[in-house]
Amino acid sequence: MNTFDVVSIVLALGVVLAMTPLLGRFMAKVFEGERTFLSPVFGWLERLIYQGAGVNPAIEMNWRQYLWAVLSFHFIGLVVLFLIQILQSHLPLNPAHLPDVSWHLALNTAISFVTNTNWQSYGGESTMSYLTQMSGLGVQNFLSAATGLGVMLAVIRGFVRKEAVGLGNFWADLTRSVVYILIPLSIVFSVVLVSQGVIQNFDSEVVATTMEGPTQKIPQGPAASQIAIKQLGTNGGGFFNANSAHPYENPTPLSNFFELIALLLIPAATTYTFGMLVRNRRQGWVLFLAMSIITVGLLSVSLWSEYSPNPIYGAAKLMEGKETRFGVSGSVLWSVLTTVTSNGSVNAMHSSLTPLTGGIAMLNIMLGEIIFGGVGSGLYGILLHVILAVFIAGLMVGRTPEYLGKKIEAFEVKMTMLGVLIPNFLILVGAGVAVVLPVALAGLSNKGPHGLSEILYAFSSAAGNNGSAFAGLNANTVFYNLTLGLTMLVGRFGVIIPVMAIAGSLAKKKITAVSGGTLRTDDALFVFLLISIIGIVGALTFFPALALGPIVEHFLFHMGRTF
């Protein structure tokens, strides 16, 4: 690594640190219904949505009503997005005259975007029309991210309120998230991207003549607007098949820098929002610090692996599968940040990373997408591990565990275990079934441990609602479209359901006064405990699978064996 690489990494992380309290404070004001500097600009839109939908934002919902609103809303969104895809050849804004999407790919894609996963078994420029990209995929980018924020707010209210039933109004939370946070940030970011050369048009394909003589069709389209929300909303995916390695999506080192920051911006800010809403900012900084320590540690291992000299190839770094515009450090930084934030966009092929670096990307997802994680979902995901941490600490001292004054009892622990174990079950069982079925193995382009990593990564990405791919796996088959679609669906809502049950249970409880025996959850000791619990859960669950994939491949790689 050179000085520029180090400065770029430190600067990117430093900007996120500086923006966390600024955006986090603003988001807290929005969610509490306070007036902000955007109220005069977008207040009319919020009121118009309420009037048009017949929603009274002051009416509170209990956890079951809130959950039903989430599930029914996204079921309708799934159906609409499915229909848009299978009928796109008959709809406007299709200058390339792309055919209808196959039913199994349309179903997979609809589930993918509704669940904030954005897994793509297709090449965007050769499969989806402009209308599908904008009115289908782009709309769900906003709505799925806003849903994550809504569920997060319901959980926070469960901790804050005492002897209450209401957890807020889903429609109000959804509307405020989109109107005051996601839309304004996306507008600003889209303009920044266009200034760097990201395309935003409705033109047909451009025909260019190459230096060798043959012609090449270069797809166009409204890319900047979708890239902005895919980064900010931790959606991932890409307008083009090459994703953020494509020069139309990510043309310059400066656009790469801004897109990297956008990955972390909202997930990091939610920790500060959490601290403000629970009236204890130290609690928010504890979560931010735990996430940051894990991120920096995993990034350090990834960089060490990529820059370690290989005795076989005689090179300290390998550029295969990486963009020369961004180099090794820019590619590795992106691979870590996109997998800790449940984003899924890529600017290099993860299959081309060294086995250990690819394994770190996979581990980031396997840990539950809680190291910053998705918009909203990362915050409520790490709170599940906080509950585990205080529960285990309570067992050690023989005291009923508490967090933010709420006693953590049997029901909360059972629901927590469901929320933690469901994605783990989906990953291991799904990958286990795939490695023994000929129809699944037929999609592999690599054998041995690397082939296992391709399958393991696919199911990890689906269950963790990440959306990135290891590459090398042909997932556009009936088997993978259906199994990964089911994995994405259960991976998202199989966590939201127990999380909402926890929120409803906590809201009904009294707030216990702090005493001499209360475990402090706002100091360095708790940061260490929380990191340990995250590591232990991840290590015990996935180490055997990782040992058969990227870990053994790491040692074979240094012996000159590739797959």
Mind listing the pLDDT tens digit for each residue in 447-465? Answer: 899 999 999 999 999 999 9
Percent of all residues in the chain with a pLDDT value above 90, rounded to a whole number: 77
Say which amino acid occupies 367.
L
Give 61's pLDDT tier (boundaries 50, 70, 90). Answer: very high
State the first-to-last Cα distance of the chain, in angstroms, to the nearest integer.
27
- Number of independent structural domains in the chain: 1
> Under 8 Å CB-to-CB from 405, ≥6 apart: which residues?
511, 512, 513, 514
pLDDT score, position 258: 95
Average of pLDDT values for 8-22?
Answer: 95
Distances (CA, A) of 439 to 16, 334, 367, 459: 44, 32, 28, 16
CA distance 117 to 285: 27
pLDDT score, position 3: 85
pLDDT score, position 250: 94
Give 197's pLDDT tier (boundaries 50, 70, 90). Answer: very high
CA atoms within 13 A on the CB side of 118: 38
Distances (CA, A) of 416 to 103, 422, 429, 492, 497: 35, 10, 20, 14, 11
Q: Which of 150, 128, 303 is nearest to 222 (CA)?
A: 128
Q: Which of 433, 379, 387 is nearest to 410 (CA)?
A: 387
CA distance 199 to 194: 6
Give 473's pLDDT tier (boundaries 50, 70, 90). Answer: confident
Give 314's pLDDT tier (boundaries 50, 70, 90). Answer: low
Examine the pLDDT at 398 and tell me if it is beyond 80. Answer: no
Examine the pLDDT at 397 and tell me if it is beyond 80. Answer: no
Examine the pLDDT at 48 and tell me if it is beyond 80. Answer: yes
Examine the pLDDT at 560 and tell me if it is beyond 90. Answer: no
How does pLDDT run across 489-510, given as a tens digit for each residue?
A: 999 999 999 999 999 999 999 9
pTM for the whole structure: 0.94
Give 154's pLDDT tier (boundaries 50, 70, 90). Answer: very high
CA distance 466 to 100: 26
Average of pLDDT values for 66-73?
Answer: 97
Beta strands 206-209 and 215-218, pairing class: antiparallel
Which carries the bigger pLDDT value, residue 233 or residue 400?
A: 233
Give 316's pLDDT tier (boundaries 50, 70, 90). Answer: low
pLDDT score, position 324: 85
Show the DSSP H helices in 177-318 as ranges: 183-195, 223-232, 253-277, 281-307
What is the domain range of residue 32?
Answer: 1-563
Averaged pLDDT of the chain: 92
